């Protein structure tokens, strides 16, 4: 990693805001909870739109009417997730920056933006021709199916970040302790412990 990126990440982590969030008992859990609320709203509202494009729900409702009704909530929720996501990132920037699942999540977010752009350039151009049809043309349906798949993957990646960047540390068991003895299973089966995670 170039030195300047490492230095930037360290300075982000050392900022007053990041330190305050990191050292507070309540701030990080509350920011994370708000992030989850935002994500639930983003996915829920996007799913409503995608299912309409696929012709699986709300087929009687004109697409443009529905989109103008719902997309404002999607954008507001997206802004909330971006803000809370950034606040979580700054608390542990160098760890998140190197995390595979974080990077995949960011790449998927870019991909979902590109998918939206494809919609605007294809089915979006002829919207008034199929607005009242029960489903979108093939290009619109493809974009909708991809959108659902990408957003589900984003949620999975987000959860996996929590399972792989936990700051919790579990001390190793004392030497000579065999967990199989406690479980009443024959010894020699190896030990297993649940990995720490948020």
Partner 1 sequence: MICLRILGWAGLDQTLRQTTSRFGPWLTGGLWLMLATGILMVIGEPVRELVTFSFWLKMFLVAVSTLIAASFQINRRKHERRWEETLMQRRSIQGLAILTFLIWLGIIILGRLIAYDHIWGPWSPATKA
Stretch that binds partner 1, among 4-12, 57-65, 115-123, 136-144 (CB under 8 A): 57-65
DSSP letter string, 4-42: HHHHHHHHHHTSHHHHHHHH-SSHHHHHHHHHHHHHHHH
For the CB of residue 58, give the shortest distance to partner 1 in the complex, in Å.
6
**Taking CB under 8 A as the rule, which mask of x and - marks residues 8-37 in contact with partner 1?**
-----------------xx-xxx-xxx-xx
**Beta carbons of 27 and 20 less than 8 angstroms apart:** yes
Q: Please identify, using beta-carbon distances, which residue of 5 and 57 lies nearer to partner 1.
A: 57
Least separation, in Å, of the C-beta of 177 and partner 1?
A: 18
Residues 60-79, mask of contacts with partner 1 (x by CB under 8 A): -x---x---xx--x------
CB of 8 to partner 1, least distance (A): 29
Q: Which is nearer to partner 1, 73 or 122 (CB)?
A: 73
Query: Toward partner 1, which CB reaches closer, 113 or 162?
Result: 162
- Element (DSSP H or E) covering residue 80: helix 63-91
Residues 6 or more apart whose CB falls under 8 angstroms from that of 96 comprise 88, 89, 102, 161, 165
Binding of residue 57 to partner 1 (CB under 8 A) = yes
Q: CA 83, CA 34: separation in Å to the nearest integer?
A: 10
50: closest CA among 126, 119, 117, 153?
119
Among 4, 172, 190, 194, indicate the residue that binds partner 1 (CB under 8 A): 194
Q: Do residues 152 and 42 lie in contact, with contact meaning Cβ atoms separated by under 8 Å? A: no
Report the alpha-carbon distance of residue 73 to residue 23 in Å, rounded. Answer: 32
Report, in Å, the least distance between residue 98 CB and partner 1: 22
Nearer to partner 1, 11 or 24 (CB): 24
User: Cα(50)–Cα(62) distance, rounded to whole angstroms?
Assistant: 13
For partner 1, give the closer residue by CB, 65 or 128: 65
Measure CA of the first residue to CA of the last residue in the chain; give whole Å. 27
Q: Which residues of the shown chain bind partner 1 in the complex (CB under 8 A)?
A: 25-26, 28-30, 32-34, 36-37, 40, 48, 57-58, 61, 65, 69-70, 73, 194, 197-198
């Amino acid at each position: 990693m170039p030195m300047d990126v490492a230095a930037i990440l360290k300075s982000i982590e050392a900022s007053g805001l990041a330190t305050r969030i990191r050292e507070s008992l309540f701030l990080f859990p509350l920011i994370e909870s708000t992030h989850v609320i935002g994500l639930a709203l983003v996915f829920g509202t996007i799913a409503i739109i995608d299912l309409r494009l696929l012709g699986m729900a709300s087929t009687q409702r004109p697409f443009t009417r529905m989109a103008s009704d719902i997309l404002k909530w999607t954008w507001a929720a997206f802004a909330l997730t971006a803000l809370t996501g950034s606040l979580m990132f700054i608390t542990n920037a160098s760890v998140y920056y190197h995390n595979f699942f974080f990077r995949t999540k960011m790449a998927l977010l870019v991909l979902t933006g590109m998918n939206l752009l494809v919609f605007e350039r294809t089915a979006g151009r002829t919207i008034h021709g199929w607005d009242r049809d029960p489903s979108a043309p093939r290009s619109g349906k493809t974009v909708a199916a991809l959108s659902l798949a990408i957003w589900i993957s984003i949620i999975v990646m987000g959860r996996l970040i929590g399972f792989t960047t936990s700051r919790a540390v579990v001390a190793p068991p004392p030497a000579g302790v065999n967990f199989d003895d406690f479980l009443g299973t024959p010894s020699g089966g190896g030990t297993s412990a649940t990995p720490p995670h948020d």
